[in-house]
Structure 1
Amino acid sequence: MSKTVQIAIKKLQDPKGSKSEIKKMKLSAIFYLTQLGFSQYDISNMIDMKRTTVE
């Protein structure tokens, strides 16, 4: 994984900025990690995304 992507993932774990910037960063990180072959579970753990659950 490139240094740039590692830095981007670190920023996502401690985000500072507008919601649209954060959403854009998450989408680009998800796309990149999917291209590398990571599973959806691994990706959500890496960028600390919380899934919403329906009760």
Structure 2
Amino acid sequence: MTPEFPPHLVRAIALAARATTQGYRLVRLTPTPYTWQLLDALDQTPIYTADSLDDIETWLNT
């Protein structure tokens, strides 16, 4: 039986993979409220911070 993952987790994994192909690393910052951040994959410099995965996806689309 194949485990079923929550849709938000699948989306986060897909966006993390997409960010990687564009030269970024997607991380979730803590503590709450959780925000998402794109870092430069090479030197870990913060590139973009957002409150939602929607915002991250929009930024990656630009």
Does the TM-score normalized on the shorter chain lie above 0.5?
A: no
Structure with more relative contact order (C-alpha pairs < 8 Å, separation 6 or more): 1
Q: TM-score, normalised by structure 2?
A: 0.34
Q: TM-score, normalised by structure 1?
A: 0.38
Larger Rg: 2
Give the strand-richer structure, 1 or 2.
2
